[in-house]
Homo-oligomer: A and B are copies of this chain.
């Protein structure tokens, strides 16, 4: 590929869309044109990009003529409708919704983990769920070395994962409680301020939430290994940015805590922050705005033969969404998988 692609950012006015534009700018992504798109309600709005203002155009069935690469973060139903239209017109779609993740025709990719899956794409590539991505980055080096049999994960997820309205809801609830007023819950079914909600997304028939089953099913697809068993409890906590995860792993081969620290220190996308003597460990407030997946509290679990506990934190809007999407786009270009006429 010699020419740079024309890139559409669909859902450009949302929290993740805006972050995508920021990431494209920061990483000096190669493009010949950037076209922000959104629904008719947001068309005409301006979004900042490289010191200029780009005008948002309406996303329609005819939007993708001349577009080579489209980064979608416009919700599941928009992706379901427009991603196939874009793909049909020859555009490669990287989609951040859950619409295409478990579709056999669509690779589900974390570039540090399974970039090779991009090679069989048919026009639509799915970006995994935020809580899955950071877990995959941290688990892949361990799986390669010692084969992971089972993962028990409990999450501590930030409200920004739900979107801008949830950020405002937490802020408003905190303000009201601090001035002795009753709170209103609109975005979440219950008060999130100073509370933990053991429900993310809707409940399935098996008693698990959709978010929990995403972690179970997406892990198998990304790792390309149906033998990895995951059981998850997903919890929303009153944090603005940064998902934290408490993870217990059982491996086939024995790894010491030092082995894991050493493996992860060399792995792409990971910063090991594990200095108990300095009270240094990954925290949401430090991960916010950063690209890395932070891993700490690494210790052997003596209750099983080959067990490891650890604590994984990453910015759910960056690595969990916008950054991973852009990294997929970069990897597509590197592997010459985007056709630019």
| Chain A residues at the B interface, C-beta cutoff of 8 Å | 150, 152, 154, 156, 171, 174-175, 178, 189-191, 194-199, 203, 206-208, 229-231, 233, 235, 237-240, 244, 246, 248, 257, 276-277, 279, 281-285, 296-304, 307, 309, 311
CB-CB nearest 3 A-B residue pairs: A207-B299, A229-B303, A154-B154
A279 adjacent to B152 (CB under 8 Å): no
A195 adjacent to B303 (CB under 8 Å): no
Give chain B residues whose Cβ lies under 8 Å from the Cβ of A297: 198, 207, 233
12 chain-A/chain-B pairs, Cβ below 8 angstroms: A154-B233, A156-B156, A190-B279, A194-B240, A195-B283, A195-B284, A195-B285, A198-B311, A199-B276, A199-B281, A207-B276, A231-B307
Other A-B contacts than A152-B301, A235-B244, 15 sampled, CB-CB below 8 A, are: A152-B152, A152-B303, A156-B196, A190-B279, A190-B283, A191-B285, A194-B240, A194-B285, A196-B237, A197-B283, A198-B244, A198-B297, A207-B300, A231-B248, A238-B238
A303 adjacent to B196 (CB under 8 Å): no
A231 adjacent to B301 (CB under 8 Å): yes
CA distance A112 to B289 in the complex (A): 47
A302 in contact with B231 given A196-B283, A283-B190 (CB within 8 Å): yes
CA distance A235 to B282 in the complex (A): 12
A281 adjacent to B194 (CB under 8 Å): no
A194 adjacent to B238 (CB under 8 Å): yes
Give chain B residues whose Cβ lies under 8 Å from the Cβ of A248: 152, 231, 233, 248
Give chain B residues whose Cβ lies under 8 Å from the Cβ of A299: 206-208
Selected contact of A303 from candidates B174, B230, B277, B300, CB within 8 Å: B230
Interface centre among A195, A203, A304, by most chain B C-beta atoms within 10 angstroms, is A195
**Nearest B residue to A206, CB-CB:** B299
**Nearest B residue to A232, CB-CB:** B309
A235 in contact with B231 given A197-B283, A299-B208 (CB within 8 Å): no
B257 adjacent to A207 (CB under 8 Å): yes
Give chain B residues whose Cβ lies under 8 Å from the Cβ of A282: 198
CA distance A203 to B296 in the complex (A): 13
Give chain B residues whose Cβ lies under 8 Å from the Cβ of A171: 178
CB distance from A284 to the nearest CB of B (A): 5
CA distance A199 to B299 in the complex (A): 13
Give chain B residues whose Cβ lies under 8 Å from the Cβ of A206: 299-300
Give chain B residues whose Cβ lies under 8 Å from the Cβ of A281: 198-199
CB distance from A17 to the nearest CB of B (A): 23
B298 adjacent to A231 (CB under 8 Å): no
CA distance A150 to B150 in the complex (A): 14
CB distance from A296 to the nearest CB of B (A): 7
CA distance A238 to B177 in the complex (A): 14
A233 adjacent to B198 (CB under 8 Å): no
B199 adjacent to A279 (CB under 8 Å): yes
CA distance A2 to B195 in the complex (A): 45
A207 in contact with B246 given A156-B235, A175-B178, A196-B239 (CB within 8 Å): no
